[in-house]
Amino acid sequence: MAIHELSALLWRERELLDLLTFKLEEEQLLLTAGKSRWLPHGTREVEQVLDRVSKAGLARAVEIAAVAEQWGVSADSSLAELAAAAPDPAWAEVLTSHVTAMRQQAAAIKELRDANEQFLRAAVRSTQETLADLKPAAGTYDSHGRTGESSAAHLVDRQF
pLDDT tops 90 at residue 48: yes
Tell me: the pLDDT tens digits for 98-126?
Answer: 999 999 999 999 999 999 999 889 888 88
49-59 mean pLDDT = 97
pTM for the full predicted model: 0.77
Identify the CA nearest to 151 among candidates 135, 139, 134.
139
pLDDT tops 70 at residue 12: yes
**pLDDT mean across residues, the chain:** 88
pLDDT at 35: 87
- Who's near 66: CB < 8 A, 6+ residues apart? 2, 5, 6
